[in-house]
Amino acid sequence: MKLVPGFIDAHVHIAGAGGEGGPASRTPEMQLSHMIEAGVTSVVGCLGTDGFTRSFESVLMKVKALRAEGVSAWMYAGAYQVPTPTLTGDVGRDITLIEEVIGVGEIALSDHRSSHPTLAELTKLTAHARVGGMLGGKAGIINIHMGDAKNPFKLLYEVADSSELSLKQFFPTHCNRNSYIFEDAKKYGKLSYIDLTASSYPYFPDIEIKPSAAVKALLEAGVPIGHITMTSDAFGSLPHFDEQGKLVKLEMGSLKSLHSEWTDMINNEGLTIPVALKTITENPAKILKLHTKGQIKSGFDADLLLLDNNLNLRSVMANGKWMMHESKLLVKGTYE
């Protein structure tokens, strides 16, 4: 057996998301067993496209529920839109005062679903998140949804160039969604963080870069391993729009994609187990300041996975308690 840290999935729509195809396309809420069966012991929840009918409060209560059920959970304040939904009226206050809130997101850029924030709006939002993080002892980071438009990192560079803020205040995701964004990500990743979306494959193989292959390509391009993370975008809708903006395909993200793409990094791309692990354990823990997560180390939480020699998941421990043992699920959510 192989012992590894529990996976950290830093971008999950834990209370449901979607809706781009109308009311019937809203995605369901995540259940505890979805996490355990995927080897995910820590999760960061977020809203997404729908900052209108879905609420900050629903995500926060889902975070609290997951904690009560035995796993670790946090959340981002906000949604795609700027001004973005908050509980206290300001994202800085949310981060400072609400224990479960560690940053802001996902704020949409370069996407027809974005509210197209100006340089001044994004700079102010980022500054408030940073100060809230400092006061609350949190990451205070901005999780950025990267859309399909060309030159997606432009506004992030402009914020850094025109203020005292660093590119490392941003955590851009979906950076493997098409070939030209991925080429830009190779340059951006040398300076700051890059997050890849595991659930994108195999739904859009002709458009998106396979996540496991993307990690190897980023490393070959000179991106430091500490800048690369992978998240599932689970329970978020994965829509595809044609050139006229018409929705032509709609899928839903899965937590299990993290394990699948991690094993492909090792079996197909030739990465070592420790290097591949960093993208879904140590790296997100350090970027998001989850100080007791992501490593098997004295003083850290006992979030542990046991895998067989083929890297199949056999047992899961979260916060020192067996949640799955010898392939048998021991704990389920309250209404499962």
Which residues are CB-neighbours of 198 under 8 A, at least 6 positions away? 211, 230, 231, 232, 233, 257, 258, 260, 261
Element of type H or E holding 131: helix 119-136
C-alpha distances in Å from residue 47, one per residue of 108, 110, 236: 11, 18, 9
Q: Taking the CA atoms of 231, 109, 160 and 151 in sequence, report the sign of the dihedral they define.
A: positive
DSSP secondary structure of 180-202:
HHHHHHHHHTTTS-EEEEGGGTT
Q: Which of 9, 111, 195, 233 is catalytic?
A: 233
The answer to whether residue 233 is catalytic is yes
Which DSSP category does 38 fall into? H
Helical axes 179-188 vs 211-220, angle rounded to 10°: 40
- Give the dihedral of Cα atoms 273, 277, 282, 284; nearest 10 deg: 160
Active site members: 233
